[in-house]
Amino acid sequence: MDCDPGIDDAVTLALAATAPEIDLLAVTTVSGNVPLKRTSENARVVLNLVGRADVPIAAGAERALIYEPPPNPPIHGPNGLGGLKLEVPDRALDPRHSVELLADLLWQEEPGSLTILAIGPLTNIALLLALHPHAAERIGLLAIMGGAIGTGNVTPVAEFNAFADPEASQRVLCGSGLPILLVPLDVTRRAIVDEDDLELFREASGAAGVIADMILGYADHPPAGWPLHDVLALAALLDPEVIRTERAAIEVDTGAGPARGQTICTFERPLAAVFGKPDPVGDVDVATEIDVDRYRDLVRTRIATIGD
């Protein structure tokens, strides 16, 4: 799991670390919602909270590939965990850079057997492909939360993870040869928990109450509830019926203008030939619909029973 905790990253990490279907081999961190030092500390805090201090954590890229990234958004609170002051375990990070830890794991395991869940800026993944060109042949699936088909949340057209490092997003999403599932902002906006859900979590034992307090630490949220954007990408791995996908070819705007970071999805449409040329062959599965009830049932059950 490659992440930048961040409240929704933290919830996703807690769920992934305790899901019986998942063998969480490592966590790699990247600068994004908060600076790299803080994302790495937050990953340690979350794994300690759910009793998974055995999972190695390696720090990765502390900045974007080329340009300085935008300022860290204030929405996750002063420390990225909604301002909660949780125990920081006395454990060292893995001495390897995130990219080298990922490469070591890929070459230790059978080709195609590992899934990478990437829910922050894609800088680490782009570096992995640059430094280890054959890594794409060994990754079974790269599941990504990022991008926006329609309206963004940083600019009118760009989602935060894509906007934080458009060059990395372009390198990964456009012709990398990776099997990719992209879960964009358009569907994650509907992946909410509401006040009733938080009350359920508070009534549960263990880490669930802490997670509820963490979610309450968001600086802002829509009236309907709190979107847990990154959690939907994990939920789609746990239960593929949570989403519906369409195959698309993707470009990411890396220019310096107002469209920087825009994720441009060209879906395969048979009628495209009417206009004289077919659409590009899609190589990314893009989530276009969410079964909200199925998602919420999964998330409510998993968080309320976390650590049981």
* C-alpha span between 127 and 162 (Å, rounded): 15
Q: 229 catalytic, yes or no?
A: yes
Distant-in-sequence, close-in-space partners of 308: CB < 8 Å, separation ≥ 6: 205, 206
What is the spatial distance between Cα 226 and Cα 106, in angstroms, rounded to a whole number?
35
Number of C-beta neighbours around residue 217 at 10 A: 19
Q: DSSP of 164-180, one letter per residue?
A: H-HHHHHHHHSS----E
Query: 284-290 and 243-252 as β-strands: parallel, antiparallel, unpaired?
Result: antiparallel
- Amino acid making up residue 92: A
Measured in whole angstroms, how far is the alpha carbon of residue 270 from the centre of its chain? 31
Active-site residue (options: 76, 97, 132, 229): 229
Catalytic annotation, residues: 229
